[in-house]
């Protein structure tokens, strides 16, 4: 009984949705959602913001590089001294470094699209 009621209500909702969709005018223009104002740093702040951003970028790149070297070293030491846990942790470290590097590039693209260079 419950399944029949559920099926009937689903059919009724779909039919109502189709009626509403067919009643809408087909010539409606799409609404364009763009910002009317471009993002811009306050006067005198842009140089400082660029410098801090550059430092953070290079700092994160250095940490990614150091983590990759340490992970590879852990794999090497684990293989040389027959220590499987060190090798396993090194392999997991490499996987984490790759995921962090991908996340880093995605975050840079997102920040670049937010601040941008002029209105797009």
Identify the residue whose tokens are 């009621």.
5
Q: What is the pLDDT of residues 31-87, one digit of tens each?
A: 565 556 677 778 888 888 889 889 999 999 999 999 999 999 999 999 999 999 999
User: What is the per-residue pLDDT for 25?
Assistant: 59
User: What is the per-residue pLDDT for 93?
Assistant: 96
The answer to whether the CB of 66 falls within 8 A of the CB of 101 is: no
Say which range, 16-20, 84-88, 99-103, has the weakest mean pLDDT. 16-20
pTM, two decimals, is 0.60
pLDDT higher than threshold 70 for residue 109: yes
Q: How does the average pLDDT of the chain come out, rounded?
A: 81
User: How does DSSP assign 78-109, residue by residue?
Assistant: HHHTT-HHHHHHHHHHHHHHHHHHHHHHHHHH
């Amino acid at each position: 009984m419950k399944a029949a009621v559920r099926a009937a209500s689903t059919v009724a909702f779909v039919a109502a949705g189709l009626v509403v969709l067919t009643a809408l005018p087909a010539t409606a223009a799409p609404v364009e959602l763009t910002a009317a104002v471009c993002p811009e740093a306050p006067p005198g702040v842009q140089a400082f913001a660029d410098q801090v951003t550059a430092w953070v970028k290079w700092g994160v790149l250095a940490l990614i590089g150091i983590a990759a070297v340490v992970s590879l070293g852990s794999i090497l030491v684990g293989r040389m001294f027959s220590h499987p846990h060190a090798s396993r942790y090194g392999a997991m470290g490499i996987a984490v470094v790759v995921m962090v590097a991908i996340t880093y590039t995605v975050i840079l693209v997102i920040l670049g699209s937010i601040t941008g260079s002029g209105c797009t």
